[in-house]
């Protein structure tokens, strides 16, 4: 793909254990993190509205309009629209589409599994988040796929609270997915999480799997977009003729969940969650702390 890092481009470290260089990391001040939280809260509201609108018969283009209206009302802008030519403010990935699905005339059908990925910018600072929802009547295997992906995200975020290296996040995601009983789910390796701040995609890459490449040390001021993508079948993917939409080659369904997270001297805070992640992190032994100005 055409972007420099993150889920919009294949990982530069597909093989487990390979070593790769990263450009310089942008560390944020507390004041900057608080602006990123503003962007995250706007984004959360916009995703709430888009997910609520995802009903049978609604087109993905209509979801994009719902999302854009919330951003306009808040005075925020989209960081997806126009990014390397991307034509919409959200990605809508349906069924075997893993990421980067372009909103259009497709009308959602009963039983579709849909990932909505979006971002917002407030005063030059970015947020990025994604959710999976199931339209109408859910298949049990799709509910499981989405739930495991979401739980894996929160295990990765919880690991960040005490991580020495960014690679500890991917290890925690991998360990959780591997521990879930039942049919194995695959962790997509071609697309990864990323740093976020004055740009949507920054160093470092955030792998969603265990690797001997530990990544940079975790320290205050680090902000990451963590985004596991899981599939029901094989890991092989292809990009459609629109040059954006990534699909599984075997037709296996996919799920994506994502949050932007800040590390500061007092702990971590999930910038794109209304409660900072408390409801999901406290059962995992982590209490998020809002950065103090």
- pLDDT (tens digit per residue) in 83-101: 999 999 999 999 999 999 9
Task: Grade residue 20 by pLDDT with cuts at 50, 70 and 90.
Answer: very low
Task: Grade residue 23 by pLDDT with cuts at 50, 70 and 90.
Answer: confident
Indicate yes or no: pTM above 0.85: yes
Strand pairing partners for 120? 127
> Binding site residues, as ranges?
100, 117, 128, 194, 201, 227, 258
- By three-state DSSP, how is residue 113 classified? strand
Residue 32 has pLDDT above 70, yes or no: yes
Confidence (pLDDT) at 10: 53
Question: Are 28 and 195 within 8 A, CB to CB?
Answer: no
| H/E segment holding residue 153 | helix 140-160
Task: Grade residue 6 by pLDDT with cuts at 50, 70 and 90.
Answer: low
> Binding site residues for a divalent metal cation, as ranges?
117, 128, 194, 227, 258
Q: In CATH, which of 3.30.420.40, 3.50.50.60, 3.40.50.10490, 3.90.230.10 is domain 22-284?
A: 3.90.230.10
| 236-265 average pLDDT score | 97
Tokens of 227: 């985004």
Confidence (pLDDT) at 8: 62
Per-residue pLDDT reduced to its tens digit, 180-192: 999 999 999 999 9
| 37-62 average pLDDT score | 98
CB atoms within 10 A of CB 256: 27
Question: Are 58 and 107 within 8 A, CB to CB?
Answer: yes
| 115-132 average pLDDT score | 98
- What are the E-state strand segments in the chain? 90-94, 97-99, 113-122, 125-134, 186-187, 193-195, 202-206, 223-226, 229-231, 237-239, 246-248, 254-256, 259-264, 267-270
Confidence (pLDDT) at 137: 97
> Binding site residues for substrate, as ranges?
100, 201
CB atoms within 10 A of CB 162: 12
| 150-169 average pLDDT score | 98
Residue 22 has pLDDT above 90, yes or no: no
How far apart are the C-alpha atoms of 208 and 155, rounded to whole Å?
A: 11
Place of tokens 């919330």: 70
């Amino acid at each position: 793909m055409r972007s420099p890092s993150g889920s919009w481009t294949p990982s530069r470290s597909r093989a487990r254990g390979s070593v790769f260089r990263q450009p310089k990391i942008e560390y944020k001040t507390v004041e900057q993190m608080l602006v990123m939280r503003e962007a995250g809260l706007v984004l959360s509201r916009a995703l709430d509205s888009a997910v609520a609108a995802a009903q049978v018969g609604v087109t993905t283009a209509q979801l994009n309009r719902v999302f854009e209206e919330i951003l306009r009302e808040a005075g925020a802008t989209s960081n997806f629209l126009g990014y390397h030519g991307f034509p919409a403010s959200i990605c809508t990935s349906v069924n075997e589409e893993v990421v980067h699905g372009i909103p259009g005339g497709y009308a959602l059908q009963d039983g579709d599994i849909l990932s909505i990925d979006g971002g917002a910018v407030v005063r030059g600072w970015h947020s990025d988040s994604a959710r999976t929802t199931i339209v109408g009547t859910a298949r049990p295997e799709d509910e499981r796929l989405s739930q495991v992906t979401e739980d894996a995200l929160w295990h990765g975020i919880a690991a960040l609270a005490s991580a020495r290296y960014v690679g500890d996040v991917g290890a925690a995601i991998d360990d959780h997915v591997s521990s879930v009983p039942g049919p194995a789910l695959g962790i997509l390796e071609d697309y990864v999480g990323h740093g976020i701040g004055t740009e949507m995609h920054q160093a470092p890459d955030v792998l969603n799997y265990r690797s001997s490449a530990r990544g940079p040390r975790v320290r205050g001021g680090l902000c990451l977009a963590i985004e596991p993508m899981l599939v029901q079948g094989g890991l092989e993917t292809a990009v459609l003729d629109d040059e954006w939409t990534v699909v599984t080659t075997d037709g296996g369904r996919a799920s994506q969940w994502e949050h932007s997270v800040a590390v500061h001297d007092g702990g971590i805070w999930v910038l794109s969650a209304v409660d900072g992640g408390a409801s999901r992190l406290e059962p995992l032994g982590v209490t998020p702390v809002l950065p103090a100005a």
